[in-house]
Amino acid sequence: MNSESSPAGRPDVLVVGGGIGGLSSAFALTRQGLRVRVLERAKEFGEVGAGLQIAPNCTRILAEYGLLEEAKTLGVVPENMVMRDALDSRELTRLDLRDLERRYGFPYMVIHRSDLHGIFLRACERAGVELLTDQTVVGYENTEGGARVLLEDGRVESAPLVIAADGLHSVARRQLIGDDVVSSSYVAYRAAVPIEQVRDNGIAEQDVTVYVGPHCHFVQYALRGGDMFNQVAVFESPKAMAGQEDWGTPDELDAAFEATCDTVRKGIPLMWRDRWWRMYDRDPIETWVHGRIALLGDAAHPPLQYMAQGAIMAIEDGWVLARQYARLAEAAPAGTRPDWDAALTAYEAVRVEHCARVQTTARAWGELWHLVGEPRLQRNAIMRARDTYDYSFTDWVYGPTALTPDEEPAMFTPIPLSSAVVENSGDEPLMVTASGTA
Protein backbone atom coordinates (compact mmCIF):
# COMPACT_ATOMS: atom_id res chain seq x y z
CA MET A 1 0.00 0.00 0.00
CA ASN A 2 1.38 3.40 -0.93
CA SER A 3 2.42 6.04 1.59
CA GLU A 4 1.26 9.66 1.56
CA SER A 5 1.19 10.90 -2.00
CA SER A 6 0.53 14.64 -1.71
CA PRO A 7 3.58 16.77 -2.52
CA ALA A 8 3.08 19.10 0.48
CA GLY A 9 3.83 16.25 2.93
CA ARG A 10 1.88 15.26 6.02
CA PRO A 11 -0.64 17.84 7.25
CA ASP A 12 -1.64 18.45 10.86
CA VAL A 13 -5.29 17.83 10.04
CA LEU A 14 -6.92 15.92 7.22
CA VAL A 15 -10.53 16.90 6.42
CA VAL A 16 -12.61 14.53 4.32
CA GLY A 17 -15.39 16.43 2.54
CA GLY A 18 -15.32 19.83 0.90
CA GLY A 19 -18.83 21.01 1.71
CA ILE A 20 -19.69 23.86 4.05
CA GLY A 21 -18.82 21.82 7.13
CA GLY A 22 -15.50 20.60 5.79
CA LEU A 23 -14.34 23.96 4.47
CA SER A 24 -15.47 25.95 7.50
CA SER A 25 -13.70 23.58 9.89
CA ALA A 26 -10.57 23.63 7.72
CA PHE A 27 -10.57 27.43 7.82
CA ALA A 28 -11.18 27.51 11.58
CA LEU A 29 -8.24 25.17 12.26
CA THR A 30 -5.92 26.94 9.82
CA ARG A 31 -6.54 30.15 11.77
CA GLN A 32 -4.91 28.35 14.72
CA GLY A 33 -1.68 27.86 12.76
CA LEU A 34 -2.39 24.29 11.69
CA ARG A 35 -1.64 22.84 8.27
CA VAL A 36 -4.91 21.48 6.88
CA ARG A 37 -5.58 19.37 3.82
CA VAL A 38 -9.12 18.90 2.43
CA LEU A 39 -10.04 15.87 0.33
CA GLU A 40 -13.14 16.40 -1.82
CA ARG A 41 -14.69 13.56 -3.79
CA ALA A 42 -16.07 15.69 -6.64
CA LYS A 43 -13.93 16.91 -9.50
CA GLU A 44 -14.42 20.49 -8.35
CA PHE A 45 -15.62 22.27 -5.24
CA GLY A 46 -19.24 23.36 -5.30
CA GLU A 47 -22.67 23.06 -3.69
CA VAL A 48 -26.11 22.20 -5.05
CA GLY A 49 -29.44 23.45 -3.78
CA ALA A 50 -30.81 26.93 -3.30
CA GLY A 51 -31.29 29.05 -0.20
CA LEU A 52 -30.01 28.73 3.36
CA GLN A 53 -31.16 30.52 6.49
CA ILE A 54 -28.32 31.45 8.84
CA ALA A 55 -29.33 32.55 12.31
CA PRO A 56 -27.35 34.72 14.77
CA ASN A 57 -25.49 31.70 16.19
CA CYS A 58 -23.91 31.40 12.72
CA THR A 59 -23.51 35.06 11.73
CA ARG A 60 -21.70 35.56 15.06
CA ILE A 61 -19.06 33.08 13.89
CA LEU A 62 -18.91 34.63 10.42
CA ALA A 63 -18.22 37.99 12.08
CA GLU A 64 -15.38 36.49 14.15
CA TYR A 65 -13.91 35.02 10.96
CA GLY A 66 -14.11 38.40 9.19
CA LEU A 67 -16.57 36.98 6.64
CA LEU A 68 -19.88 38.55 7.66
CA GLU A 69 -19.67 41.64 5.47
CA GLU A 70 -18.97 39.51 2.40
CA ALA A 71 -21.95 37.34 3.31
CA LYS A 72 -24.16 40.43 3.62
CA THR A 73 -23.21 41.56 0.12
CA LEU A 74 -24.26 38.18 -1.29
CA GLY A 75 -27.30 37.47 0.86
CA VAL A 76 -30.33 39.27 2.24
CA VAL A 77 -31.09 40.46 5.78
CA PRO A 78 -34.90 40.10 5.94
CA GLU A 79 -37.18 42.13 8.17
CA ASN A 80 -39.45 39.42 9.59
CA MET A 81 -40.01 35.70 9.74
CA VAL A 82 -43.73 35.12 9.34
CA MET A 83 -45.57 31.83 9.74
CA ARG A 84 -48.94 31.49 8.00
CA ASP A 85 -51.54 28.78 7.64
CA ALA A 86 -51.08 27.27 4.18
CA LEU A 87 -54.81 26.75 3.65
CA ASP A 88 -56.16 30.24 4.35
CA SER A 89 -52.93 32.31 4.47
CA ARG A 90 -53.80 33.78 7.88
CA GLU A 91 -50.81 34.88 9.95
CA LEU A 92 -50.02 32.62 12.89
CA THR A 93 -46.92 34.19 14.42
CA ARG A 94 -43.82 36.20 13.54
CA LEU A 95 -40.31 37.11 14.58
CA ASP A 96 -39.19 40.72 14.16
CA LEU A 97 -35.74 39.94 12.78
CA ARG A 98 -34.39 43.44 13.33
CA ASP A 99 -35.32 43.18 17.01
CA LEU A 100 -33.92 39.66 17.05
CA GLU A 101 -30.60 41.11 15.84
CA ARG A 102 -30.65 43.60 18.71
CA ARG A 103 -31.25 40.78 21.17
CA TYR A 104 -28.50 38.46 19.95
CA GLY A 105 -26.08 41.01 18.54
CA PHE A 106 -25.89 39.53 15.06
CA PRO A 107 -28.31 39.37 12.09
CA TYR A 108 -30.56 36.64 10.77
CA MET A 109 -29.65 36.22 7.09
CA VAL A 110 -30.67 34.23 4.06
CA ILE A 111 -28.09 33.33 1.43
CA HIS A 112 -27.70 30.99 -1.51
CA ARG A 113 -26.01 27.77 -0.41
CA SER A 114 -23.41 28.06 -3.18
CA ASP A 115 -22.61 31.64 -2.12
CA LEU A 116 -21.91 30.62 1.49
CA HIS A 117 -19.85 27.70 0.26
CA GLY A 118 -17.93 30.07 -2.01
CA ILE A 119 -17.19 32.39 0.91
CA PHE A 120 -15.54 29.56 2.83
CA LEU A 121 -13.75 28.24 -0.27
CA ARG A 122 -12.15 31.64 -0.92
CA ALA A 123 -11.31 32.02 2.77
CA CYS A 124 -9.57 28.65 2.72
CA GLU A 125 -7.61 29.59 -0.39
CA ARG A 126 -6.44 32.84 1.20
CA ALA A 127 -5.49 31.03 4.40
CA GLY A 128 -3.38 28.44 2.61
CA VAL A 129 -5.57 25.36 3.09
CA GLU A 130 -4.51 22.59 0.71
CA LEU A 131 -7.60 21.82 -1.36
CA LEU A 132 -7.64 18.57 -3.32
CA THR A 133 -10.45 17.34 -5.57
CA ASP A 134 -11.26 13.97 -7.16
CA GLN A 135 -10.29 12.21 -3.90
CA THR A 136 -12.66 9.36 -3.05
CA VAL A 137 -12.15 8.07 0.50
CA VAL A 138 -13.32 4.50 1.06
CA GLY A 139 -12.01 3.71 4.54
CA TYR A 140 -10.66 5.08 7.83
CA GLU A 141 -8.08 3.66 10.24
CA ASN A 142 -6.49 4.82 13.47
CA THR A 143 -2.69 4.67 13.63
CA GLU A 144 -0.04 5.28 16.25
CA GLY A 145 -0.43 8.95 17.09
CA GLY A 146 -2.99 9.73 14.42
CA ALA A 147 -5.27 8.31 11.73
CA ARG A 148 -5.31 7.66 8.03
CA VAL A 149 -7.78 7.37 5.19
CA LEU A 150 -7.78 4.86 2.38
CA LEU A 151 -8.58 6.17 -1.07
CA GLU A 152 -10.32 4.38 -3.91
CA ASP A 153 -7.18 4.37 -6.04
CA GLY A 154 -5.14 2.63 -3.32
CA ARG A 155 -3.37 5.68 -1.93
CA VAL A 156 -3.24 6.55 1.75
CA GLU A 157 -3.39 9.95 3.43
CA SER A 158 -2.61 10.39 7.13
CA ALA A 159 -2.47 13.05 9.81
CA PRO A 160 -2.52 13.42 13.60
CA LEU A 161 -6.26 14.16 13.23
CA VAL A 162 -8.76 13.10 10.58
CA ILE A 163 -12.10 14.93 10.41
CA ALA A 164 -14.88 13.06 8.62
CA ALA A 165 -17.11 15.78 7.20
CA ASP A 166 -18.42 13.50 4.48
CA GLY A 167 -22.12 14.20 4.82
CA LEU A 168 -25.38 12.35 5.36
CA HIS A 169 -24.14 9.18 3.65
CA SER A 170 -20.77 9.32 5.39
CA VAL A 171 -18.34 6.46 4.78
CA ALA A 172 -16.89 7.06 8.24
CA ARG A 173 -20.33 6.94 9.88
CA ARG A 174 -21.10 3.66 8.15
CA GLN A 175 -17.76 2.15 9.18
CA LEU A 176 -17.58 3.46 12.75
CA ILE A 177 -21.26 3.46 13.78
CA GLY A 178 -23.00 1.22 11.25
CA ASP A 179 -26.44 2.79 11.60
CA ASP A 180 -28.69 3.76 8.71
CA VAL A 181 -30.43 6.92 7.61
CA VAL A 182 -34.03 7.46 8.74
CA SER A 183 -36.61 8.40 6.11
CA SER A 184 -39.23 10.96 7.13
CA SER A 185 -41.34 10.10 4.03
CA TYR A 186 -41.22 13.82 3.23
CA VAL A 187 -39.67 15.26 0.11
CA ALA A 188 -38.51 18.78 -0.78
CA TYR A 189 -38.73 20.59 -4.10
CA ARG A 190 -36.76 23.79 -4.57
CA ALA A 191 -36.55 26.69 -6.97
CA ALA A 192 -34.65 29.95 -7.09
CA VAL A 193 -36.04 32.25 -9.79
CA PRO A 194 -35.68 35.90 -10.80
CA ILE A 195 -37.78 38.08 -8.49
CA GLU A 196 -39.73 39.46 -11.46
CA GLN A 197 -41.30 36.05 -12.01
CA VAL A 198 -43.09 36.09 -8.67
CA ARG A 199 -43.85 39.74 -7.91
CA ASP A 200 -47.51 39.28 -8.90
CA ASN A 201 -47.94 36.18 -6.71
CA GLY A 202 -48.66 37.96 -3.44
CA ILE A 203 -45.16 37.41 -2.04
CA ALA A 204 -43.47 39.31 0.80
CA GLU A 205 -40.09 40.33 -0.57
CA GLN A 206 -38.68 41.55 2.75
CA ASP A 207 -39.71 38.54 4.85
CA VAL A 208 -39.03 34.87 5.30
CA THR A 209 -42.51 33.37 5.00
CA VAL A 210 -43.38 29.83 6.05
CA TYR A 211 -46.81 28.44 5.12
CA VAL A 212 -47.64 25.39 7.27
CA GLY A 213 -50.37 23.02 6.16
CA PRO A 214 -51.71 19.48 6.44
CA HIS A 215 -48.80 17.16 5.58
CA CYS A 216 -47.03 19.99 3.73
CA HIS A 217 -45.32 23.37 4.05
CA PHE A 218 -43.98 26.05 1.73
CA VAL A 219 -41.12 28.50 2.36
CA GLN A 220 -40.35 31.74 0.50
CA TYR A 221 -37.64 34.40 0.77
CA ALA A 222 -35.49 36.62 -1.42
CA LEU A 223 -31.84 35.87 -2.26
CA ARG A 224 -28.82 37.64 -3.76
CA GLY A 225 -29.64 41.18 -2.74
CA GLY A 226 -33.30 40.65 -3.58
CA ASP A 227 -32.72 39.82 -7.25
CA MET A 228 -33.73 36.17 -6.82
CA PHE A 229 -36.58 34.50 -4.97
CA ASN A 230 -36.20 31.16 -3.23
CA GLN A 231 -39.06 28.73 -2.76
CA VAL A 232 -39.12 25.34 -1.01
CA ALA A 233 -42.12 23.00 -1.18
CA VAL A 234 -42.12 20.08 1.27
CA PHE A 235 -44.76 17.37 1.55
CA GLU A 236 -45.38 13.87 2.82
CA SER A 237 -45.31 11.36 -0.02
CA PRO A 238 -48.20 8.88 -0.17
CA LYS A 239 -45.99 6.59 -2.24
CA ALA A 240 -43.33 6.61 0.47
CA MET A 241 -45.97 5.84 3.10
CA ALA A 242 -47.08 2.89 0.95
CA GLY A 243 -43.53 1.58 0.69
CA GLN A 244 -43.07 2.31 -3.01
CA GLU A 245 -39.58 2.93 -4.38
CA ASP A 246 -40.52 5.74 -6.78
CA TRP A 247 -41.72 8.40 -4.36
CA GLY A 248 -41.85 12.16 -4.16
CA THR A 249 -42.62 12.57 -7.86
CA PRO A 250 -44.03 15.78 -9.44
CA ASP A 251 -47.58 14.41 -9.57
CA GLU A 252 -47.43 14.06 -5.78
CA LEU A 253 -46.12 17.62 -5.51
CA ASP A 254 -49.13 19.01 -7.36
CA ALA A 255 -51.61 16.93 -5.39
CA ALA A 256 -50.08 17.87 -2.03
CA PHE A 257 -50.69 21.60 -2.55
CA GLU A 258 -54.08 21.52 -4.33
CA ALA A 259 -55.99 22.87 -1.32
CA THR A 260 -53.52 25.59 -0.33
CA CYS A 261 -53.93 29.37 -0.62
CA ASP A 262 -53.38 31.36 -3.81
CA THR A 263 -49.80 32.47 -3.06
CA VAL A 264 -48.66 28.92 -2.46
CA ARG A 265 -50.48 27.46 -5.46
CA LYS A 266 -48.98 30.14 -7.72
CA GLY A 267 -45.52 29.12 -6.57
CA ILE A 268 -45.85 25.40 -7.19
CA PRO A 269 -45.55 25.52 -11.02
CA LEU A 270 -42.18 27.27 -10.65
CA MET A 271 -40.56 24.46 -8.69
CA TRP A 272 -37.73 22.53 -10.33
CA ARG A 273 -39.31 19.26 -11.46
CA ASP A 274 -36.25 17.40 -12.67
CA ARG A 275 -34.86 16.89 -9.15
CA TRP A 276 -36.15 16.56 -5.64
CA TRP A 277 -34.64 15.93 -2.23
CA ARG A 278 -35.98 13.11 -0.06
CA MET A 279 -35.73 14.18 3.56
CA TYR A 280 -33.62 11.91 5.75
CA ASP A 281 -31.94 12.27 9.09
CA ARG A 282 -30.31 9.87 11.55
CA ASP A 283 -30.95 9.07 15.18
CA PRO A 284 -28.65 11.03 17.53
CA ILE A 285 -25.52 9.23 18.69
CA GLU A 286 -23.34 9.88 21.73
CA THR A 287 -19.93 9.02 20.28
CA TRP A 288 -18.48 11.16 17.52
CA VAL A 289 -14.79 10.61 18.24
CA HIS A 290 -13.10 7.28 17.52
CA GLY A 291 -9.41 7.54 18.33
CA ARG A 292 -8.15 10.32 16.10
CA ILE A 293 -11.11 10.18 13.73
CA ALA A 294 -13.80 12.77 14.48
CA LEU A 295 -17.22 13.04 12.87
CA LEU A 296 -18.39 16.55 12.01
CA GLY A 297 -21.47 18.11 10.44
CA ASP A 298 -24.02 15.84 8.80
CA ALA A 299 -21.73 12.85 9.30
CA ALA A 300 -22.29 13.31 13.05
CA HIS A 301 -25.77 14.83 13.32
CA PRO A 302 -27.84 15.11 10.12
CA PRO A 303 -31.11 16.86 11.03
CA LEU A 304 -34.39 17.32 9.26
CA GLN A 305 -34.53 20.85 7.89
CA TYR A 306 -37.26 22.37 10.07
CA MET A 307 -34.92 24.19 12.46
CA ALA A 308 -32.77 25.57 9.59
CA GLN A 309 -29.69 24.61 11.63
CA GLY A 310 -28.00 21.88 9.57
CA ALA A 311 -25.25 23.94 7.93
CA ILE A 312 -25.03 26.13 11.03
CA MET A 313 -24.31 23.17 13.31
CA ALA A 314 -21.51 22.07 10.99
CA ILE A 315 -19.97 25.55 11.11
CA GLU A 316 -20.33 25.57 14.90
CA ASP A 317 -18.61 22.16 15.10
CA GLY A 318 -15.49 23.48 13.40
CA TRP A 319 -15.49 26.66 15.47
CA VAL A 320 -15.76 24.71 18.73
CA LEU A 321 -13.04 22.23 17.79
CA ALA A 322 -10.68 25.06 16.81
CA ARG A 323 -11.41 26.96 20.02
CA GLN A 324 -10.78 23.85 22.12
CA TYR A 325 -7.45 23.36 20.37
CA ALA A 326 -6.55 27.02 20.89
CA ARG A 327 -7.37 26.84 24.60
CA LEU A 328 -5.06 23.87 25.06
CA ALA A 329 -2.35 25.43 22.88
CA GLU A 330 -2.25 28.48 25.13
CA ALA A 331 -1.57 26.22 28.13
CA ALA A 332 0.96 23.97 26.40
CA PRO A 333 4.67 24.33 27.21
CA ALA A 334 6.64 26.47 24.78
CA GLY A 335 7.62 24.62 21.65
CA THR A 336 5.03 21.87 22.08
CA ARG A 337 1.62 21.25 20.64
CA PRO A 338 -1.44 20.25 22.64
CA ASP A 339 -2.74 16.73 22.82
CA TRP A 340 -5.51 16.26 20.26
CA ASP A 341 -7.21 13.72 22.50
CA ALA A 342 -8.06 16.39 25.08
CA ALA A 343 -9.37 18.76 22.41
CA LEU A 344 -11.52 16.02 20.91
CA THR A 345 -12.90 15.04 24.31
CA ALA A 346 -13.91 18.66 24.97
CA TYR A 347 -15.43 18.96 21.48
CA GLU A 348 -17.54 15.85 21.91
CA ALA A 349 -18.57 16.76 25.47
CA VAL A 350 -20.36 19.93 24.39
CA ARG A 351 -21.48 19.33 20.82
CA VAL A 352 -23.22 15.95 21.19
CA GLU A 353 -25.93 17.19 23.55
CA HIS A 354 -26.63 20.41 21.66
CA CYS A 355 -26.90 18.75 18.27
CA ALA A 356 -29.08 15.95 19.63
CA ARG A 357 -31.44 18.64 20.93
CA VAL A 358 -31.62 20.22 17.49
CA GLN A 359 -32.19 16.87 15.77
CA THR A 360 -35.05 15.85 18.07
CA THR A 361 -36.58 19.32 18.08
CA ALA A 362 -36.48 19.41 14.28
CA ARG A 363 -38.47 16.17 14.16
CA ALA A 364 -41.04 17.54 16.60
CA TRP A 365 -41.21 20.88 14.76
CA GLY A 366 -41.93 19.05 11.51
CA GLU A 367 -44.80 17.16 13.13
CA LEU A 368 -46.19 20.43 14.48
CA TRP A 369 -46.07 22.16 11.10
CA HIS A 370 -47.95 19.38 9.35
CA LEU A 371 -50.85 18.79 11.73
CA VAL A 372 -54.40 18.19 10.47
CA GLY A 373 -57.87 18.55 11.95
CA GLU A 374 -58.38 19.84 15.48
CA PRO A 375 -54.66 19.60 16.40
CA ARG A 376 -53.96 22.02 13.54
CA LEU A 377 -56.48 24.48 15.00
CA GLN A 378 -54.99 24.06 18.47
CA ARG A 379 -51.54 24.76 17.07
CA ASN A 380 -52.83 27.85 15.29
CA ALA A 381 -54.43 29.15 18.48
CA ILE A 382 -51.22 28.70 20.47
CA MET A 383 -49.10 30.39 17.82
CA ARG A 384 -51.48 33.34 17.51
CA ALA A 385 -51.29 33.82 21.28
CA ARG A 386 -47.50 34.11 21.20
CA ASP A 387 -46.04 37.59 21.69
CA THR A 388 -43.83 38.67 18.78
CA TYR A 389 -41.05 39.55 21.21
CA ASP A 390 -41.13 36.34 23.21
CA TYR A 391 -37.73 34.70 22.69
CA SER A 392 -38.16 31.77 25.05
CA PHE A 393 -38.25 29.41 22.06
CA THR A 394 -35.09 30.78 20.39
CA ASP A 395 -32.68 31.65 23.22
CA TRP A 396 -31.46 28.04 23.50
CA VAL A 397 -30.32 27.93 19.88
CA TYR A 398 -29.67 31.51 18.64
CA GLY A 399 -27.45 32.58 21.54
CA PRO A 400 -23.64 32.19 21.70
CA THR A 401 -22.37 28.73 20.81
CA ALA A 402 -21.42 26.88 24.01
CA LEU A 403 -17.83 25.75 24.53
CA THR A 404 -18.55 23.71 27.65
CA PRO A 405 -21.63 21.77 28.77
CA ASP A 406 -22.35 24.27 31.56
CA GLU A 407 -22.60 27.06 28.98
CA GLU A 408 -25.38 25.25 27.10
CA PRO A 409 -28.65 27.16 27.69
CA ALA A 410 -31.69 25.46 29.13
CA MET A 411 -34.24 24.16 26.65
CA PHE A 412 -37.59 25.86 26.14
CA THR A 413 -40.70 24.53 27.85
CA PRO A 414 -43.11 23.02 25.28
CA ILE A 415 -46.74 24.14 25.27
CA PRO A 416 -49.09 21.15 24.99
CA LEU A 417 -51.67 21.33 22.22
CA SER A 418 -54.32 20.31 24.73
CA SER A 419 -53.90 23.66 26.48
CA ALA A 420 -55.49 25.47 23.52
CA VAL A 421 -59.22 26.12 23.50
CA VAL A 422 -60.48 26.03 19.93
CA GLU A 423 -63.88 27.39 19.06
CA ASN A 424 -65.40 25.92 15.95
CA SER A 425 -66.13 29.35 14.51
CA GLY A 426 -67.59 30.01 11.09
CA ASP A 427 -64.42 31.56 9.72
CA GLU A 428 -62.31 28.48 10.47
CA PRO A 429 -64.47 25.34 10.70
CA LEU A 430 -63.37 21.80 11.15
CA MET A 431 -63.45 20.00 7.82
CA VAL A 432 -65.01 16.55 7.90
CA THR A 433 -63.79 14.09 5.33
CA ALA A 434 -64.40 10.45 4.65
CA SER A 435 -61.44 9.52 6.84
CA GLY A 436 -62.65 11.61 9.75
CA THR A 437 -61.54 15.06 10.83
CA ALA A 438 -58.92 16.66 8.59
402 Cβ contact list (under 8 Å, min separation 6) = 350, 354, 408, 409
- Cβ pair 372, 86 in contact under 8 A: no
Task: Return d(Cα 317, Cα 294) in angstroms, integer.
Answer: 11
Residue 415 CA neighbour count, 13 Å, CB half = 17
Task: Return d(Cα 287, Cα 14) in angstroms, integer.
Answer: 20
Task: Return d(Cα 292, Cα 340) in angstroms, integer.
Answer: 8
Catalytic residue among 186, 221, 306, 347: 221
**H or E stretch covering 193:** strand 182-194
Would you mind telling me the total number of residues written for the chain in this entry? Answer: 438
- Cβ pair 411, 392 in contact under 8 A: no
Task: Return d(Cα 101, Cα 99) in angstroms, integer.
Answer: 5
What's the Rg (C-alpha) of the chain? 23
Beta strands 80-85 and 207-213 are parallel
**Chain center to CA of 35:** 27
- Cβ pair 80, 125 in contact under 8 A: no
* Residue from 379, 367, 432 nearest 215 by CA: 367
User: ∠ at Cα 3 (29, 44), nearest 5°?
Assistant: 55
Backbone angles phi, psi at 58, to 5 degrees: -100, -45
Task: Return d(Cα 417, Cα 377) in angstroms, integer.
Answer: 9
Task: Mark whether 347 is an active-site residue.
Answer: no
Neighbours of 266 (CB within 10 A): 15
- Cβ pair 200, 208 in contact under 8 A: no
- Which segments within 55-108 are labelled E, that is strand? 80-85, 91-96
- Cβ pair 355, 313 in contact under 8 A: yes
Bin 144: left if φ > 0, else alpha if -120 < ψ < 50, else beta. Answer: beta
Bin 150: left if φ > 0, else alpha if -120 < ψ < 50, else beta. Answer: beta
- Indicate which residues carry an active-site annotation: 221
